[in-house]
């Protein structure tokens, strides 16, 4: 893994994207790299960024419109070669079964809890670092 990790954040809501950035901070845990964010407000922008490469983790808003992060996650897992791990933001804990259906690698509920989010993101970054080693 590079000295900096790139995290793609997809949400049509700029406030949700800001919550993610603030919750992660510059480094979500001492043993993971510094984080840089790529923000996307549309599914097309997500696909374009993933085509470029260099994304270590995707954070997808399950409540986004017109396409929610759960459906987008499932599409990415089907269509993107070596799709990065996906952290899904869910509207309610009862939606955990949908997170499983979407094949996300982790899920947390909205609004973003900084401790829970940073822990989940750090876990995916560690896993990605081990996979690339």
Give the percent of the chain with pLDDT over 90.
90
- Confidence band (pLDDT; 50, 70, 90) for 1? very low
Q: Residue 3: what pLDDT?
A: 87
Answer whether 0.85 is exceeded by the pTM.
yes
Q: Provide the residue range defining the domain that includes 112.
A: 4-132
The H-or-E segment that residue 44 falls in is helix 43-52
Neighbours of 8 (CB within 10 A): 21
Residue 99 phi/psi, 5-degree rounding, is -65, -40
CATH of the domain at 85: 3.40.50.2300
What's the structural domain count of the chain? 1
Which residue do the tokens 């922008």 mark? 45
| Interstrand relation of 57-61 and 4-10 (parallel, antiparallel or unpaired) | parallel
Distance CA 43, CA 52 (A): 15
pLDDT above 70: residue 27? yes
pLDDT in tens, 69-123: 999 999 999 999 999 999 999 999 998 999 999 999 999 999 999 999 999 999 9
């Amino acid at each position: 893994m590079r000295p900096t990790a790139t995290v793609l954040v997809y949400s049509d809501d700029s406030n949700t994207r800001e919550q993610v950035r603030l919750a992660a901070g510059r480094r979500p845990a001492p043993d993971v790299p510094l984080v840089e964010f790529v923000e996307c407000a549309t599914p097309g922008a997500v696909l374009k960024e993933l085509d470029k490469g260099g994304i270590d983790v995707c954070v997808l808003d399950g409540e986004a419109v017109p396409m929610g992060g759960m459906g987008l996650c499932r599409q990415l897992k089907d269509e993107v070669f070596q799709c990065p791990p996906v952290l899904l933001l869910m509207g309610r804990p009862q939606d955990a079964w949908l997170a499983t259906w979407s094949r996300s690698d982790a899920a947390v509920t909205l609004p973003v809890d900084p401790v829970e989010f940073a822990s989940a993101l750090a876990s995916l970054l560690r896993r990605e670092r081990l996979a690339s080693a």
